[in-house]
Amino acid sequence: MLVLGIDSSTQSTKALVVDADNGAVVAEAKASHPNGTEVDPAVWWEAAQNAIAEVVAKSPGRIEAVSVGGQQHGMVALDSSGEPVRDALLWNDTRSAPQAEELIERHGAEALATRTGLVPVASFTITKLAWLAQHEPDNADRVAQVLLPHDWLGWQLAGRPEQSWTDHGDASGTGYYSPTTGEWLPELLTEAMGGRTPELPKLLGPNAEAARATLPGIEGATIGVGTGDNMAAALGLGLKPGDVVVSLGTSGAVFAPAEKPSADRTGIVAGFCDATGRYLPLVCTLNAARVLSSTAHMLDTDLEGLSRLALAAEPGSGGLSLLPYLEGERTPNLPEATGTLAGLTGANMTPQNLARAAVEGMLCGMADAIDALRDTGAEVRRVLLIGGAARSEAVQAIAPGLFGVDVDIPEPAEYVAIGAAKQAAWARSGSAEPPEWEVAGTRRAVGDDTSGAAVRAAYAAAREQVHGI
């Protein structure tokens, strides 16, 4: 049986046709998204249609089921005719930072963590809806229904039926859902929206068949419930206790499987649900892969050139530390921050040191995230490194020293789309647990650095000096 997995993430849509018997990828296609932190959802739909048409043309047979893993938290606010009232505000849009603070002032961080698993930051959907209510009340008045990016795409695939749906994993990133009861908290949504009461999608279980596809090429295929991109990656990797994923896409996301919901009152660890009926505590930064592409651009080289330069420098980058808050930052919560290059001298100001400082700075944020997960009780036996920037040789060589734990690199692949495909196969089979597909070609990374603690200490000192934290 062939199934289709779709990853609609920040920078692109990827579509994979997968053999449900063994998880082998038999066809793939990709379509780009525009840059920016607010986007007309129509561009995701166009990218999805293009990627699906391409992959269907390459597919050796009929596709029986499809599922979508989507970038988390994006606000897709629809009017009564199902049209977006404005462009979607994405997870990396920081304009709603004041609304996050207001929510915390009103309810208290601990109470919100207990109730929703989250302490609000600008990324979470609830803060975006509060921003909409305060800054665009006319648009807010027209909102009949609020969806997340993956909900909206699944609904499009089904021909926009009357009833929309979502899963518990993506719902847990909204700020108006309770991971402990598994239900919406509509009163929080209504309060954030100044008394307005938009509808929410129906919550479905992880292996539900949500609808049937109407899109030409996959008509009649089972549509799985879909999920957030990180939950889909976790499902695709088939995580075991002790596995921690560091996903280096547009965001840097660090997560581990858990049997119980979590409530971190510091707000560093978000208490998400996963795509299997369990939990996925997660730490996320706004600055990962693009730190490397921006630095490569500055140094007038490409990503391979950046990697070569970084590996030609000594660990510690000759005393340079980059705080890579190029898009503001979410963890730590510094939405207005910009990046800082600390420790410059005439002697250390080389392209090699700058390149290495970019890799080290991005990975120091990930190392802090691993520590934060550990502090909330996660077992950290090994790290699995995935996402676009995990393809960088420099990242693979520098991560083990900074993380201080074994780092495994699964063969580069689109694990979000693989997880979505697995969910599709699960929905089609109706079995109690998802299919077990082997993750091919995982190898242990060999670090080039034994002075990771010193590099992290220099990074922490620069952060303390610039941001006081």
Ligand X SMILES: O=C(CO)[C@@H](O)[C@H](O)COP(=O)(O)O
DSSP string over 295-330: HHHHTT--HHHHHHHHHHSPTTGGG-EEE--BTBBT
Segment contacting ligand X by CB under 6 A, of 81-89, 133-141, 228-236, 368-376: 228-236
Segment contacting ligand X by CB under 6 A, of 203-211, 246-254, 292-300, 455-463: 246-254
Interaction of residue 392 with ligand ADP, rule CB under 6 A: yes
Interaction of residue 287 with ligand X, rule CB under 6 A: no
Question: Please, are residues 62 and 2 in contact by the beta-carbon 8 Å criterion?
Answer: yes
Is 87 among the residues known to form the active site? no
- Provide the minimum distance between the beta carbon of 149 and ligand ADP in the complex, in angstroms, as a whole number: 12
Spatial distance between the Cα atoms of 224 and 420, rounded to a whole number of angstroms: 8
Catalytic hit among 87, 93, 170, 229:
229
Interaction of residue 420 with ligand X, rule CB under 6 A: no
State which residue, 160 or 297, has the beta carbon closest to ligand ADP. Answer: 297
State which residue, 6 or 113, has the beta carbon closest to ligand ADP. Answer: 6
Spatial distance between the Cα atoms of 120 and 241, rounded to a whole number of angstroms: 28
Segment contacting ligand ADP by CB under 6 A, of 5-13, 50-58, 116-124, 361-369: 5-13
Interaction of residue 391 with ligand ADP, rule CB under 6 A: yes
- Provide the minimum distance between the beta carbon of 197 and ligand ADP in the complex, in angstroms, as a whole number: 33
The one of ligand ADP, ligand X, none whose footprint includes residue 123, by CB under 5 to 8 A per kind, is ligand X
CA atoms 329, 331, 333, 334: torsion sign:
negative
Tokens of 168: 């518990």
Is 72 labelled a binding residue? yes
Q: Scan for tokens 């971190």, then name that residue.
A: 264
**AA identity, residue 309:** L
The one of ligand X, ligand ADP, none whose footprint includes residue 73, by CB under 5 to 8 A per kind, is ligand X
Q: Which of 412, 420, 447 is nearest to 169 (CA)?
A: 420
Residues 236-275 that bind ligand ADP (CB under 6 A): 249-250
Question: Please, are residues 196 and 190 in contact by the beta-carbon 8 Å criterion?
Answer: yes
Interaction of residue 119 with ligand ADP, rule CB under 6 A: no
Interaction of residue 118 with ligand ADP, rule CB under 6 A: no
Is 135 labelled a binding residue? no
H or E segment and range at residue 382: strand 382-386
Residue 95: CA atoms inside 13 Å, Cβ hemisphere, count? Answer: 16
Tokens of 95: 């304009």
Segment contacting ligand ADP by CB under 6 A, of 54-62, 267-275, 386-394, 403-411: 386-394
Interaction of residue 31 with ligand ADP, rule CB under 6 A: no
Interaction of residue 292 with ligand ADP, rule CB under 6 A: yes
Burial of 139 (0-12, 13-18, 19+ CB in 10 A): middle
Residues 366-405 that bind ligand X (CB under 6 A): none
Please give the backbone phi and psi of residue 207, each rounded to the nearest 5 degrees, phi first: -110, 25
Interaction of residue 384 with ligand ADP, rule CB under 6 A: no
Q: Which of 372, 367, 378, 326 is nearest to 452 (CA)?
A: 367
DSSP summary character for residue 334: B
How many CB atoms lie under 10 A from the CB of residue 401?
A: 23
The one of ligand X, ligand ADP, none whose footprint includes residue 391, by CB under 5 to 8 A per kind, is ligand ADP
Segment contacting ligand X by CB under 6 A, of 66-74, 207-215, 256-264, 396-404: 66-74
**AA identity, residue 387:** G
Interaction of residue 13 with ligand X, rule CB under 6 A: no
Which residues sit at the interface with ligand ADP, rule CB under 6 A? 9-12, 249-250, 289-290, 292-293, 303, 387-389, 391-392
Q: Where in the sequence numbering do the catalytic residues fall?
A: 229
Which residues are part of a known binding site?
72-73
Per the annotation, binding residues for substrate are 72-73
